[in-house]
Structure 1
Amino acid sequence: MNRTLHILSKLVFCLLVGYLLSSCSSVSHLTEMARAEVSVHSDSFKILIPRKKDSRVLLFEAGTTGYAKNVRYGYFQEALKSVRKRSGNPSDLSLERMNSYRVHTYEVLSSLLVDNGREGLVTVKIDYYSIDTGIIKTVIDRQKWWFGDTTQTWYLEHFFLAD
C-alpha cells in the first residue's frame, strides 16, 4: 500500500512538472508569435517594441555601474575620477582619509535621468565602516550626476565620504 502511494505521488509530481513546463513553453511560443505579428503587420504597434538605447543612457549606466564597483571594492582613487563639480574642478578629497574606510554594501535604490538625459539622479544605500573602529554606518546617498558635453562623460557632483 505504501509503495503504491509512493509511486502514485511520484507520478502526480511528474505530471504536474510536465504540465507546468508545457504551459511555460506555450506562453513563450505565444509571446514570440505576438512579437512577429506586431513587427510585421502594423507600424502603429512599433512603439511597443523596445528601441535601441541612447548613447548617453548607455554611458550613464556604464559610468554609474563602474563607480559603484570602484566604491564597493575600495578603489577610491578610481572612483574619484568620476567625481567633479560642475565648475570643472576635480574633487580635492584626501585619498588617505578615504582609504581608512571600507564599504560593506552598496545598494542602488533608484536611478533616473532628467533634463532630457543631461542629468542623472541615483539614490544609493551605503553601509560602510572605519577600519579603526569597525562600526558600520549607513548613509542614503542622493547622487547628482551631470553629463560633460566636451568629454562625453558622466560626473558625480559629490562623494559620499565628503563631510
Structure 2
Amino acid sequence: MKPKKFFLPLAIFTLLASGIFAQDWPQFLGPDRNSKSPETGILRTWPEGGPEVLWTVDLGIGYGGPVVKDGKIYLLDREKDKADIMRCFDLNTGEELWKFEYEAPGSVMFPGSRSVPLVDGNHVYSTGVFGDLYCFDINTQKPVWKVNI
C-alpha cells in the first residue's frame, strides 16, 4: 500500500507552529487527558480553503496519532508487516530529527500503527501492534528498555 500523507494532525500543528497554541500536547487526549485545551484565541471556523499546510511527510497507513512536546512531534509509524518505527519531527519544518526502527513482523486485521506515544520528561513511550512497549530517551534517541505486554 502506498503511504498516506499526514494531513489532519498537520492542520492542528499549523496552529501550534503559528503561535496560536502555546501548550504542548504530550499524550493522548492532551495535557490533562480530557481533550480540552486551556488556550484562548483558537479559531472556531476554518478559513476558506482550510488552514495553510506548512509541511507534509509520507507515512505508512495507521490509526495512531502524534504528540507534541517542546517543538517536536513524536509518532509511531509502521512499515507494512515488517517493523514499527518511532519517529521524531521538528514541528516548524517537518524535518525528521531521528527515528528508531525495530522488527515487528506479521500482519494484523487493521494494518498500521494504532497507538499514540506519551512524552514524560526525557522519555517517550510507545506500544506497537504486537504489544512491544518501548521507552526511548529523547536525547540519545535510543531505547532505555522494552517489554512485550
User: What's the TM-score, normalizing by structure 2?
Assistant: 0.26
Larger helix fraction of residues: 1
Q: Which has the higher contact order (CA 8 A, sep 6+)?
A: 2
- Which structure would you say has the larger Rg? 1
Larger strand fraction of residues: 2
User: What's the TM-score, normalizing by structure 1?
Assistant: 0.24
